[in-house]
Structure 1
Amino acid sequence: MKTAKYLWEIARGTEQRAMPVLSFPAVQKMQVTVKQLVESSELQAEAMETVAKATPSIAAVSLMDLSVEAQAFGASVRFSDDEVPTVTGQLVSDEEEAKALAVPSVGAGRTGVCVEAIRMAKERIQDRPVLAGVIGPYSLAGRLMDVTEIMYLCYDEPETVHLVLEKAAEFIINYGLAFREAGADGMVMAEPLAGLLSAEMSAEFSCSYVKKIIEALQTEDFAVIYHNCGNSVNNMLPEIFSSGAAAYHFGNAVDMREILDQAPADVLCMGNIDPAGQFASGTPESIREATISLLQACGNEPNFIISSGCDIPPHSKWKNIEAFFGAVEEFNHTRS
């Protein structure tokens, strides 16, 4: 599938169609725990298939589990029955440890599980693109070096940070190639930690590596969608857009209208209904209102696709998810 072309056709179509980052809430319909889900290829593929059958989402998007790649490098991960896994501790604290850090093979930790899940999902889901989920280079480096410590090291020991970033990018490229070979139509690359950087630092420590990854992976049939839910992305949009992604996905910390006002006409943008405040904690009425409001502001733009602002939490109410899609349909009826 020519994935980027498909997404642009959706955006330029006569109706709005949605692509939320929706996978984890499938645990409710499947009656399994989050821990069981993240450790099983079969369950992950089933979750994507469950969501595809239950919703008109334009793509089947895999889990946004940002602990997978760090665990492959050797980081400790805390698992929970109800919450998305989190990285604990610090694996790299100085230049010596950065030099010693080994780039793992794809298959280490749970990466093999995730690749196999995409292979299985692609066999089962034939009516829309199947997108894998990966972490971005700076966000991975932050989980290896500690998300707070890396901010100081960018100033004090930038060479050390670059050492880790080079290895992070190398692994993400290899991981993305494995997904591509498994049949994925693309991947969503989550780089939220870069949203805390200045524009200049984002260009140096994130965007340059993101661009390298995209150049290595993106083809007509494999689209890379860049995700950043940081609250400072407005200040670094030129740097972000220079990476060459097929599309750019933004979080609810920013005003989507302001993003589109700065986006060139040939840059496809997605976002940004609040996943925690609306999908998880809102009501069908509140999410309907938020969705209609966003579509009234952005829905007539030919380079916009409505989505959640980030990964929708596992405990999000299905009645809210259904209300989101219902509001998209309602908006379409008002335009017809």
Structure 2
Amino acid sequence: MHTSSRFVSLLASAIQSRRRLAIPLAAAPGMQLLKLPADDVHRSGQLQFECIRTLAMQTGAEVLVTFMDLSVEAEAFGCAIRHSDTGNPEIVGTIAPERLATPAVGTARTGEALRCAELCAKQLTQPVLGGLIGPFSLACLLTGMSEMMMMAAVEPNQAHAILQIAADFLRQYLLALRQTGLAGAIIAEPSAGLLSPEMCRDFSVHYLRQIIASAKSDDFAVILHNCGKTEKQVPVLLSSGADALHVGNAVDIRQILAQVPPGFPILGNLDPVGVLCDSAEGTVRAAVRDLLQTTAAYPNHIVSSGCDIPAQTPIANIKAFFAAVQDYNQENQP
């Protein structure tokens, strides 16, 4: 069975069997194992693949994810970035709205992200999920967060023009990711967490529908990530057409789970910094167990970090995450 089809089957069987599945957003910590500077890794799809493969060998993860670097798409549009030896590149310049134009897929480091995706799909046996930014979050990077928020409120026509440019590119980019053979993709739309449900519908989900509908299929899953206070946005987010939602540690995950159909996957929401990165192994194990017990009535909950796990996170803590899920499953076999 193709890995993409196997991922969809894995989600369904986990929900049906009540075996808890773990999919932390862990790729960047693989840089530790290879002793590579982040600057080099973020410029090279080959090195990103090596980090993902090496970390997977250490953890035994059933599902893998690529790097969550939300500067990639903005750089392709022409935004200036500042690289770092330890973390993700940072956007340091915006673009005037009248100068925005849709770049070709493969421009700048989108080509390296696609290279990583292709290597993962061809050389790894586990299903792999790619990643890309969402339309509203991309628009905020392109024009500035405060500028975009103000534009959406008082100049909605201009905001929609920018969002359509962003969505046109992201639709093509998601299709390119699917063509590599990945099992699916996670669309990260964190900035939309700042919007009211109505504005989220109009300025994020309207465009997400276009993007998701163009690429999702029976063997390519699309997961929508929003790490904001999303409790009141759930009905709107469900209307995006995504196959699953991924939520952050800012929410009570039970309030999210209570609003979705029992077979609809919800991923999240262990604190990636306060728990996974900065705590001891025992604390990680206890936090994972607490999350599993809290969501025991919801077999559609997939255990994950609330956002991407920082590069400096101890590998022992990531192993503790998986070990805690494995122990829980062994103790709670039907």
For normalisation by structure 1, the TM-score amounts to 0.95
Q: What residue in structure 1 maps to residue 181 of structure 2?
A: 183
1:147 counterpart (145, 148, 152): 145
AA aligned to 2:141 is: R
Give unpaired runs (5+ residues) of structure 1. none
1:8-30 CA-to-partner distances (Å, cap 9, x unmatched) read: 22233342120001100000001
1:135-161 CA-to-partner distances (Å, cap 9, x unmatched) read: 001000010011122111111211111
Separation in 2, partners of 1:331, 1:212: 39
Separation in 1, partners of 2:210, 2:134: 11
Helix, strand or coil for the counterpart of 2:233? Answer: helix
Contact 1:48 1:60 in 2 (8 A): yes
Contact 1:247 1:270 in 2 (8 A): yes
Q: Aligned runs of 1:158-177 on 2, under 5 Å?
A: 158-177=156-175
1:38 counterpart (21, 37, 42): 42
Give the paired residue count. 329
Q: What residue in structure 1 maps to residue 225 of structure 2?
A: 227
Q: Aligned runs of 1:1-336 on 2, under 5 Å?
A: 1-2=4-5, 3-92=7-96, 94=97, 97=98, 100-126=99-125, 128-231=126-229, 233-336=230-333
AA aligned to 1:119 is: E
Separation in 2, partners of 1:331, 1:300: 14
Separation in 2, partners of 1:149, 1:283: 40
Separation in 1, partners of 2:10, 2:243: 11
Contact 1:82 1:314 in 2 (8 A): yes
Separation in 2, partners of 1:78, 1:13: 46
What is the root-mean-square deviation of aligned Cα atoms in Å?
1.2
Separation in 2, partners of 1:76, 1:278: 32
Contact 2:39 2:85 in 1 (8 A): yes
Contact 1:103 1:170 in 2 (8 A): yes
Q: CA deviation at 1:244?
A: 1.4
Contact 1:139 1:194 in 2 (8 A): yes
Separation in 1, partners of 2:298, 2:18: 11
Contact 1:268 1:303 in 2 (8 A): yes
Q: Which runs of 4+ in 1 moved over 4 A?
A: none
Separation in 1, partners of 2:144, 2:306: 24
Helix, strand or coil for the counterpart of 2:113? Answer: helix
Contact 1:291 1:328 in 2 (8 A): yes
Query: How many percent of aligned residue pairs carry the same amino acid?
Result: 40
Separation in 1, partners of 2:69, 2:328: 32
Contact 2:140 2:148 in 1 (8 A): yes
Contact 2:266 2:302 in 1 (8 A): yes
Q: CA deviation at 1:300?
A: 4.2
Separation in 2, partners of 1:14, 1:273: 19
Helix, strand or coil for the counterpart of 2:130? Answer: strand
AA aligned to 1:69 is: E
Contact 2:15 2:263 in 1 (8 A): no
Q: CA deviation at 1:318?
A: 1.0
Q: CA deviation at 1:87?
A: 1.1
